[in-house]
Amino acid sequence: MIKEIVIYGRGGQGAVTSSYVLAKAFFYEGFYSQAFPSFGVERTGAPVEAYVRFSKKPINLRQHVYKADYAIVLDSSLIEAANVKEKLKRNASVFINSAKKRKYFGKDIKEITTDITSISLKIIGKPFVNISILGLFATTKLVTMESLRKAIYEMLPENLAKLNYAAAMEIYKNVVG
């Protein structure tokens, strides 16, 4: 069974990089994986979608993701702007970066919201949320923090990897305890 993830971000936030990190992490977890962007015009602030597939079997499918099992939202203003709801399966899970304590979806969607930007600012010193939010995704236990760590260190320069991983870990621990 192929599972599908959409990562929503704005140009410059690094949604594409987070899809690549996730694909590597799933591979370390023993899955086949695939990640690719759906580029619009490369412009800071423009909505960007990146897709991840993972499966126990080799993945042939290459179309965009239209009904996701999971969504990761780097900027909560995209929930409406990018029509996230329309592109979710029933019982999908959504991981949201937002400081607001509110519900964005109905009962059939599982949503978990954390103020990723604040935690990233505290630990990384910059509002980089694309990698730290993967700590929130890891609370699904689909990927371990160890696989994420390996993937992050493979994608980023060491100093940035260290800080981003630390932020992801803090977010993970805040939820899992």
Partner 1 sequence: MKRVIETSHAIALAVKLARVKVIPMYPITPQTHIVERLAEFINNGTLDAKMIHVESEHSAISALQGALLSNVRAFTATSSQGLALMFEILQIISGMRLPAVMVIANRALSAPINIWNDHSDAFAVRDQGWMQIFAETAEEALDSVLMAYKLAESKEVQIPIMVNIDGYSLSHVYEPVDIPSQTLVDSFLPKFKLEDYLDINNPKTFGPIGFPDSYMYFKEAQHKAMKNAEKRIKEINREFKKKFKRSYGNGLVEEYKIEDAETVFVCLGSICGTAREAVDQLRVKGKKAGLLKLRYIRPWPSKSIRKALNKAEKIAVFDRAFSFGSEAPLYTELKATLQDKQINSYVVGLGGRDVTIEHFKKAYRMCSKNKNGWLY
By CB under 8 A, name the one of 5, 9, 24, 98 that touches partner 1: 24
Region near partner 1 per CB under 8 A, out of 16-24, 71-79, 107-115, 157-165: 16-24
Neighbours of 38 (CB within 10 A): 14
By CB under 8 A, name the one of 34, 113, 114, 117 that touches partner 1: 34
Nearest to 15, CA basis, from 41, 31, 34, 35: 35
Closest CB to partner 1 among residues 33, 164: 33
Q: Hey, what amino acid is at 48?
A: V
By CB under 8 A, name the one of 5, 35, 79, 123 that touches partner 1: 35
Using CB under 8 A as the binding rule, the residues of this chain from 44 to 73 that contact partner 1 are 59-64, 66
Region near partner 1 per CB under 8 A, out of 22-30, 100-108, 133-141, 166-174: 22-30
Q: Hey, what amino acid is at 36?
A: F
What long-range pairs does 35-41 form, CB within 8 A, spacing at least 24? 38/64, 40/11
* Count of residues making up the chain: 177
- Distance between CA 153 and CA 7 in Å, rounded? 20
Would you tell me which residues interact with partner 1 (CB under 8 A)?
Answer: 19-20, 23-24, 27, 32-37, 39, 59-64, 66
